[in-house]
A and B are shown apart, each in its own frame.
Chain A
Amino acid sequence: MIEIKGVSKTYGKGKIKALNNINLEVRDGEIFGFLGPNGAGKTTTIKQITGILKPDSGTIKINGIDIVKNPVEAKKHIGFVPDNPEIFNRLRGMEYLNFIGDVYEVPEDERYKRINELSEAFEIRDALSSSINSYSHGMKQKLVLIGALLHNPSVWVLDEPMVGLDPKSAFILKEMMRKHADSGKTVFFSTHVMEVAERLCDRIGIIKKGEIIFVGTLDELRHLRKDNDSLENLFLELIEE
């Protein structure tokens, strides 16, 4: 579960307001889609949930643990995929995953089992001995995904996870997200692809200029707008207001 209470964030010594008093609760057992135009504050929110950025005010709790007060413990519960998979390019795929395994204290047997399974599913097993530098964007995305899921975290935080994935891998990931939520755990992800959000999410949140302008199910959004249109049209209407 992710609880965000009264979180604000400014950049440039308070000159640029990125987030303004946002409140959000992502429950156990749900897939939560986070939508918003470019520069609305999606990535800033995600960076604060994962402890990359410190909020100026407010609290963020992961499964009840405050990410600012107890960062190491809180982060153990999170599996995070950043929006840009350009990381540790000089390591080999396997070295990267082993490092992640060490950081999250994954036992050797479990580490082997999960890496074997996930790398087979995402079809990058044979590339694990190669340098990450030699990977395509999609392969890097898959590697980061495997790393994020290696310790079997209860909270998945995925920033644009489908970008760069081939259709088969995107399908597998969507299945995994569904399965994870159905087992009572949390999936929080941002996307620009409305179709994905429409099909996959139990609830969605829409952020605009650093403020949450809608949180609820798709039906609730349609009811609110008194319109039976697609999410894409509803989203466009909402953010243009």
Chain B
Amino acid sequence: MHGIRKVYPGVIAVDGVDLDLLPGEIHALVGENGAGKSTLANIAFGAVKPDGGTVEAAGTVGLVHQHFELVGRLRVWHNIMLGREPRKGTVVDVDRARSRVAELAERNGLAIDPDALVEELPIGVQQRVELLRELEREPSVLLLDEPTAALAPAEIATLFATVVQLAKRGTAILVVTHKLQEVIDYTTRVSVMRHGKIVARYETADTSVDEIARAMVGGELPQVAQREPTGAAPCFAARDVSAASDTTTVSGLSFEVHAGEIVGIAGVEGNGQTALADAIAGMIPYTGSIELDGDSTALRHRNNIGIVPQDRHHEGLVLNWSIVENAILGRQNLPGIRKGALTDWRAARADAAAIVERFDVRAASLDVAVKMLSGGNQQKLLVGRALIGDPRFVLAYQPTRGIDVGAAALVQSRLIEARNRGSAILLISFELDEILAIADRVLVMYRGKITGSFTGSEIDRGKIGRLMAGLS
């Protein structure tokens, strides 16, 4: 790719980028939210036309999307073979399609049931389907856009094992990612993007997480806020809570979160976190009691709580609405924002402006549709909305999901600041590092139960890791 340029209304997304991918290399493309990485990947794939520059590829290019492009209600084999279905006369030869998929999965070391319905598969397995779909076309260049954003640690290892195999067979691979440890562990070269330009390029062997991070943010990393001593008044209490969501269940959970405390739920995805979060948020029925300050009124009927939901596109934001509209969503009845029967839009704008400023949401204006923001900026808006009013209790589900180191540090700082001001915060995260960095207390969740509790100096990464894996 040479001299690639792409302009969107109000932003230069990609500004004169040169990028060569060599056969057999795993090239990492890193950068902050909105630096232009996804746009560049989509240009390389051919889904987005550049305003300038040339793209040349020897052979076909495959792209594994950050948000998978699968057909949920169709089977695995159909998703993979779509457009290239083997035929028997005029009908699809299902047996051959199946065996082709099974053979492809086998060759790439990715276990899959060709007949499973895609929507019933866990996220990690869905990604295998998306990856296999691209591999079926035997691409000479494979682009992976944030491939590990939704994966558990074990799934990440499996994915990269496959990717490394592919590279050994001569495929050129580009990985767009935020996770710098993955860059160090698995890639051969790394390009850093900032404001649409490539600002640094390293041989991975010669660099470090710190050096890459500094290049990404263009200076030193922001410091995470300091924790200050707070009182220990009980605030949030779950007693003997059992609930089942579509994919996970929890049974008999009891724990408290004190005011001015961050409690982190550590665990591999799929061990009940979704059910717990949905029960607390009032999305699904539960047994047992969930209380805030001794009052068991459903949390969703209160306006002194903040929730960062797990799926920002389906539960958190209305993508076609503006920043202002999304900023007051769920808070539209607060005294400052509602005036009689109407919304005080001037107050709403001021409120949205405060969120945008404090949480560094980068957008052309407050009136742009949220779908025009990069994923990281959407996430910052979501976290900002949950934290802006200094709520009594905050449920934060993967609050730094899919955002870069600089933005993650900012979000973590804001969480700690809310804690310092007396909010009780329940943090659910699949990234142990995040929990260890900011939680005062760690609860380990395994198969729907709490299997361990660690406070302050007892917190021990090794013990927690073993409990997360189901070992005692």
Tell whether A and B belong to one assembly.
no
